[in-house]
Structure 1
Amino acid sequence: MSGFIVEKVLNNNVVIATHPSYGEVVSIGKGIGFNRKKGEELSPQLFDKTFVLKDVKEQESYKKLLPQIDQNLQAAIIESIHLINDRVSGKLNEHIHVGLTDHLLFALQRVSQGMTIKNPFLKETITLYPFEHDIAVDVIDLIQDKTGIGLPQGEIGFITLHIHSAIANKDLSEVNQHSQLIYHLIQVVEEQLGVRINKESIDYSRLVRHLRFMVDRVLAGEKVDEPEKIALLLKEEYPLCYNISWKLIKIMQRKLGKPVCDAEAVYLTMHIQRLQKKIK
C-alpha cells in the first residue's frame, strides 16, 4: 500500500494526490497521470520513478508553472531531474523541481528566440563545483536529445548552481551570493597583483577551491591550526601577498557577517604567492 490516492490529474506527468501523513501532495513523474482516475491508488512501483512535492509553497509554484510547459518538454525536465537524483548519494532539496524547471523553461524559450545570456563566471563555476558541472553537461545533452534544442555553454554554469543548491540543501540565492563573493575575491587578487590570472592554470583552480572551502569553514565556525613560525616567515618574505590575504579576509568577514580566524591568512598567502611566482 503506497497510501497515495489520486485526487486530480493535472496532465500526463503531474497528479494531485492525498496521503494520510502528508496531506495533499503533488506527484511528478513521466506518464504518471496517463489514464489515472480520481480515487485510484498510486502503485508503490511508481515511486522509484516519481517525485512527491510535500511543501505547500513548492506545490503552488509548480502548479503555476504547468500551463507554460509543453508536456514533452516537461517529461524531458522530469527525466533530467531523475538523472541528477540517480547521480547523487543524498536526497535532493525538492525546490529543484520548481527552480530547475523554471530555469530550463526560460532558457529554452530564449534560445528558440535567438537570445543568449552570457555567463561571465562559467570557468569559476566549473572549478568550484566540478561534480555538479559533470552532471549539468549530461542534463544539457539529455535536453537536446529529447527536445532537439541545444543550450549554450553558459547555461551549463547556471544548471550547475541549481544542482549544487539542491545537493547542499541551500537556497539558490545563498549559493549565488557565495559564488559571487569568490568571484569578487579573485578580482581583488588580480587588481592587487596587477595581472590577469590564467584561469586554465592549476594554481588558479587551487585558489578558487581553497576560497570555496574557506567560505564553508567560516560559515560552519570551523578553525584551522595556526603555524606561527610560518606566519612570521610569510609576513616578512611575502608582505604583498600577506597583505592581500588580509584584504580578502576582511571582505569575507564583512560579506558573511562571521569572524575569520587569523590562521586562514597563512594558507591564503601561500596560494597567492604561488600565483605571483608563476606570473613573474
Structure 2
Amino acid sequence: MEQLLTIEKVLNNNVVIARHDAYKEVVLIGNGLGFNKKKGDVISFDHADKTFLLKDETEKEQYVNLVPHIDEDLIAFINDQLLFIEAQMDKTLNEHIHVALTDHLSFAIKRIQQNMQFSNSFLFEIESLYPKEYQVAKSVVKEFERQLGIVFPEGEIGFIALHIHSAVTDKPLRDINRDHALISQLTQLIESGLKVDLSKDNVNYHRLIQHLHRAIDRIHQGESLGDENKLQEVLKAEYPVCYNLAWKLIKVMQNQLNKPVDEAEVLYLTIHLQRLTHTN
C-alpha cells in the first residue's frame, strides 16, 4: 500500500522534509523530488531514492540550514555516494552521516577552491585501523574526480573513512578523534621511554597501534582480561623498563578516558613493548 506524507519544507529540488504519522518528520531525497512542490503538498515514499530520520533536533536544524547553501547537483551526488557507502559496507549507516559528511565535503571543496592546504597527520593509522572504510573512502574520492573533476588531497580519504567508521559503529566522530589523539600520545611516550624510532611504514608500528586501539576499545567496553598474578611477577622481574613504561601508559589512558583500566592490560603491554625493544 502506498504511504503518503505531507511536505513540511522544500529544501531544494531534490530534498524535502515531510511529516509521517508514525515517524514524524522524515527527510526524503530523490531527483526532482521537490520540484514545483510546496508546504502542505502530499508526496509518496515511493518517489524517494533515499529516506532517513533526523531524530536529533540540532542535527535536523543543521541539515535544514546546510542544504540550501550547497549546489543541488552536489547534494544529489553526495547522496549517491552515501548509497554506495552503505552498499559497500553492507551495514545500515547512522543517519548523522547525512549531516556530517555533507557538511565536511562541502567545506573540503571550498578549501580546494581557495587553495587552502589541509593535511591529515593520522592518515597511515586510519588506513591501518579501518582498512575497509579506507578503501571505500578512496573509491568515493575517485568518483569525485571522475564525475565532478574535483581532486581531493590524499588526506581527505582518511577524513571520509572516519565519517564512514563513525556511521557504521554509531560512535561519535569526536570520540574517534579523541582515541586517535590518545594513541598518538602513547606512541610518543613509547618512543621516548624505549629510545626507539617507530617509523610509520614499519610493521612494528602497525602492530603497536593495532594493539593500543584494541586496548582502548576494551577499556570503553569495560572488558576484563582475567587474573594473571604469576605472569605479572615474572614480567616485572624480567623486563622492569617495559613493565614500568606499561604502567605509565595505563595511567595516561585512565586519565584521558576517565575510565578504570583492567590491570591485566599491563601484562600484554609489557610483552608488546619487550618485542619492540628486541626487534629494534
Q: TM-score, normalised by structure 1?
A: 0.91
Note the 1:40-119 alignment, pairs <5 A.
Answer: 40-44=42-46, 46=48, 49-55=49-55, 56-119=57-120
Note the 1:204-219 alignment, pairs <5 A.
Answer: 204-219=205-220
SS at match of 2:44: coil
Residue 256 of structure 1 aligns to which amino acid in structure 2?
L
Which residue of structure 2 aligns with residue 236 of structure 1?
Answer: 237
- The structural deviation recorded for 1:254 is 0.7
Answer yes or no: is the 8 Å Cα contact 1:27–1:53 preserved in 2: no
Kindly tell me the number of residue pairs found equivalent between the two proteins.
Answer: 277
Residue 137 of structure 2 aligns to which amino acid in structure 1?
A
Answer yes or no: is the 8 Å Cα contact 1:76–1:142 preserved in 2: no
- The structural deviation recorded for 1:36 is 5.0
Deviations 1:103-122 (A, max 9, x none): 11111111122112111111
Which residue of structure 2 aligns with residue 39 of structure 1?
Answer: 41
Q: Distance in 2 between matches of 1:173 and 1:157?
A: 15
Note the 1:155-194 alignment, pairs <5 A.
Answer: 155-194=156-195
Deviations 1:55-83 (A, max 9, x none): 23322111111232111211221112111
Deviations 1:250-280 (A, max 9, x none): 000111111111111111112111122121x
Q: Distance in 2 between matches of 1:20 and 1:276?
A: 63
Answer yes or no: is the 8 Å Cα contact 1:3–1:20 preserved in 2: no
Residue 44 of structure 2 aligns to which amino acid in structure 1?
L
Residue 52 of structure 1 aligns to which amino acid in structure 2?
F
Which residue of structure 1 aligns with residue 261 of structure 2?
Answer: 260
Answer yes or no: is the 8 Å Cα contact 1:182–1:212 preserved in 2: yes
- The structural deviation recorded for 1:8 is 3.9
Match status 1:16 vs 2:17: yes
- The structural deviation recorded for 1:85 is 1.3
Which residue of structure 1 aligns with residue 197 of structure 2?
Answer: 196
SS at match of 2:115: coil
Answer yes or no: is the 8 Å Cα contact 1:6–1:18 preserved in 2: yes
Moved more, 55-64 or 229-238: 229-238
- The structural deviation recorded for 1:242 is 1.3
SS at match of 1:6: strand
Q: Distance in 2 between matches of 1:137 and 1:276?
A: 35
- The structural deviation recorded for 1:30 is 4.3
- The structural deviation recorded for 1:90 is 3.2
Q: TM-score, normalised by structure 2?
A: 0.91
- The structural deviation recorded for 1:25 is 2.4
Residue 40 of structure 1 aligns to which amino acid in structure 2?
V
SS at match of 2:27: strand
Runs of 4+ aligned residues of structure 1 deviating over 4 Å after TM superposition are 34-38
Residue 51 of structure 2 aligns to which amino acid in structure 1?
F
Answer yes or no: is the 8 Å Cα contact 1:125–1:160 preserved in 2: yes
Answer yes or no: is the 8 Å Cα contact 2:13–2:35 preserved in 1: yes
The 1:209/1:2 distance shift into structure 2, 3 A limit, reads farther
